[in-house]
Structure 1
């Protein structure tokens, strides 16, 4: 098996490189082989574009410049490393022996290592118990986030039912300036909303956001190479930072935010323990009020409060915020229908795309406000999102030439066309739409009448329409008959009594116009 580096990973390598990270540090931060990072850096250096220019390219252009590079994995070795995690959890259990675990491992593995190799690999990886390390944190480098284990509650006004809510905690490890808010869940949309609010609270962006292996952040948890989900990758690209999950089962990797959670219990939870809240908004307003005192409290070892350290030092090291906050995207696949629309199943509606993509499979990116359609990594259509069901949302430029004309059809449209062939043609077409509750039924008749000029010319068509209007016989078939039988050349008044004989033969049962006065 091989892990492909997609364009988002390439952009994160470029981002960290521009931030001054070494190749080794980039690999450690993103969980990518150092040799792979080295190979890509050689490709970047040999490219005609600068690193900043490469960041501006879209995914399709990057994929074309840098065909998929891979890092080779050894499934047999990875299986052994994963098994060692199980061994470590059992180390303190009475009666533990390596031989017992080796036998268990050899039974479940297809290609087990020998016992000697088993012990050799274990001793290399876990030669002795590791002590805690005091980490020095750079200002503006990382933001640690976590959810509190103990939840708060809001009360339903109508039923009195308690609803548990999550408490999101973020802290900057240099100044320990902390942000806390309540959210309904730990799902992606709530996590990203909390992250947007956090960066807005700080007024800037750190180089990296450090989280644990949340389901809403990490698609596949791993101690070595966790897979970050697409929404979080796009969030990181939007804010020009990276997401760096900690090692699984390693709370010491984010000890400072773990400590911030404990302090939140003391300074936020406890003072609010007897208060009742009926909405998430009420709860967050009270949390923000308590948070001011939390950050203003003197930090004795540093001789200043969290807020003072942040404002005087760390804020200057943060990257600026983009103009707009990130909106979480979701994705749907859809095939372009013959009529030139894709079906958007989330709202059960339709959105137009350029007509040349009929029959193509596309990927829809959508947020709360926009719907974008992509084909082969290229955006081919953008629409404001319309949540009304069953509607066709159309951009006129997307339609084929014949469809564009059809959308213009109206009584006024046919009136303008008819006026170019004579006043009688115009009168004839206008007659079609008189007292017509649903004018669409007359569009084809109007088009047919106007198109007769191609065969008979505008002058003859105008005369034929004059005769049809005079005889109150306006229809496509009647006007066509007049032209086919050359009746347009005669004066319609000659058919009146006293004039030239009518082409209708005389019969005693046929009544003339006098009977209808």
Structure 2
């Protein structure tokens, strides 16, 4: 054993094989054998080794001459992987090119042997210890499941979604209609609520629903998928493109579920997606409760014992997929969501700013530079306005409160006749805001002309059936509200073709 160690020590120090054999009284073949056992040289190293004490200095000037045939061959191997991907390229073609350059090189069988051995060393894998509550692996199976549409008899193919916890390997699976963003996000949420908690990291594949632009170093995540991750307070770390070992755990479980779920679904007919998922859930539960081979525990036992308590708690509500659009705040302090053609208010200080509008099924959120500046309940009525009083300037706030009840109650506080006159104005077939302005002008006369005069003018208007701001303004400006009302009360109706009558004079005030 000491001799073997000496051989290795001297070789590492740069002593040639011939010198080692001479100093230790061994044959060169014995030295090579010991070095092969210690994996310090390759078994196919040539009989002659140029690393001798005598030639050491001259070899430094001609390093290529010191290389063995294997060293020269192995320099080509890193490029062969990409070359073999080209159409029509084979190992035999590469060997022929190699032999044209190196006439004394390896023959085809040895050439293939060394290349295969080189590939084996490149395929070494690392054992990875998964922490409980750390990672959730997500993937879609390559094969599909299906159900029959009961009304039409059409066969509906469905995607098969799989999620696996890294620590316990607790598995969740369900069928969905597609791999589109909405279906994928819904599947991930269903998995999180199935586990009853949130891991630190989600590891999806590079499908478009999760990754907009794949990159080995800095992938661009789908904005909606990232919003969902932010809602659940977890991060997203997509697997690298063409690197299935980054998510080998879920890849392996997909293969297992082919056996434990797909084979049991075979031959059965389902008439709805819900019915199909009920069957899948039953078989996945059996899979999770099955003991590991040679172990006394199952995935479910590991999950309940260790993983579940390591997960972060779920938020109070599920994530709501939103439609994101950009809009400019108009001068009336509103933005329009074009899909519903509805308007939502924004604080007036943001007039002219370009904001992001996030529209969900029940809410509308408005953001400026990632800060939420407005929140509304969604209203799908077209061409209507949803406004918050505090969003408007003080002058606009007053106008925004205009409605029929406001003016009727205002008139009632002055006098019932004033309230009745306001009702008559509001009953006119005109644009509401025009009527509101007229009502506001009439009621303002309480301060300008006095309460008693306004009441008298409204009574006159009711008697003459003349309902307008212009009528009240004319009567009060001429100070004729009392005179005219007395005359009106004592007037005797006379019918004659030369008498114009009340209708003519009413038209002058309207």
- Distance in 1 of aligned mates of 2:153 and 2:490: 92
Pair 479,289 (structure 1): closer, same or farther in 2 beyond 3 Å? same
RMSD in angstroms over aligned alpha carbons? 3.6
Q: Give yes or no for contact 1:452–1:461 (8 Å, CA) kept in 2.
A: yes
Q: Give yes or no for contact 1:422–1:459 (8 Å, CA) kept in 2.
A: no
TM-score normalised by the chain length of structure 1: 0.68
Give the aligned partner of residue 509 of structure 1: 498
Give the aligned partner of residue 351 of structure 2: 358
1:468 is displaced (CA, Å) by 3.8
Pair 305,356 (structure 1): closer, same or farther in 2 beyond 3 Å? same
Pick one of 271, 275, 278 that aligns with 1:278: 271
- Distance in 1 of aligned mates of 2:80 and 2:231: 38
The structure whose RCO (Cα within 8 Å, separation 6+) is larger is: 1
Instruction: Check if 1:317 corresponds to 2:317.
Output: no
SS at match of 1:274: coil
Moved more, 248-257 or 152-161: 152-161
Q: Give yes or no for contact 1:373–1:379 (8 Å, CA) kept in 2.
A: yes
Give the aligned partner of residue 207 of structure 2: 214
Give the aligned partner of residue 203 of structure 1: 196
Pair 411,214 (structure 1): closer, same or farther in 2 beyond 3 Å? closer
- Distance in 2 of aligned mates of 1:360 and 1:222: 34
Pair 457,266 (structure 1): closer, same or farther in 2 beyond 3 Å? same
Give the aligned partner of residue 35 of structure 2: none
Pick one of 222, 227, 237 that aligns with 1:229: 222
Pair 388,168 (structure 1): closer, same or farther in 2 beyond 3 Å? farther
Task: Show structure 1 runs of 5+ residues with no match.
Answer: 1-82, 101-125, 500-506
Moved more, 173-182 or 418-427: 418-427
Of the two, which has the highest radius of gyration?
Answer: 2
- Distance in 2 of aligned mates of 1:255 and 1:469: 86
- Distance in 2 of aligned mates of 1:446 and 1:189: 51
Give the aligned partner of residue 62 of structure 1: none
- Distance in 2 of aligned mates of 1:363 and 1:498: 67
Task: Show structure 2 runs of 5+ residues with no match.
Answer: 1-78, 99-118, 503-510
- Deviation per residue, 1:284-340 (Å, 9 max, x gap): 011011111111112123322211122122222222222222223331101223333
Give the aligned partner of residue 191 of structure 1: 184
Instruction: Check if 1:244 corresponds to 2:237.
Output: yes
1:283 is displaced (CA, Å) by 0.7
Pair 136,445 (structure 1): closer, same or farther in 2 beyond 3 Å? closer
- Deviation per residue, 1:318-371 (Å, 9 max, x gap): 222222222233311012233332221333333222233333211012222221
1:444 is displaced (CA, Å) by 3.9
What is the total number of aligned residue pairs between the two structures? 399
SS at match of 2:344: strand
TM-score normalised by the chain length of structure 2: 0.69
Pick one of 278, 282, 290 that aligns with 1:289: 282
- Deviation per residue, 1:254-295 (Å, 9 max, x gap): 222111001111110011110112221111011011111111
Q: Give yes or no for contact 2:84–2:90 (8 Å, CA) kept in 1.
A: no
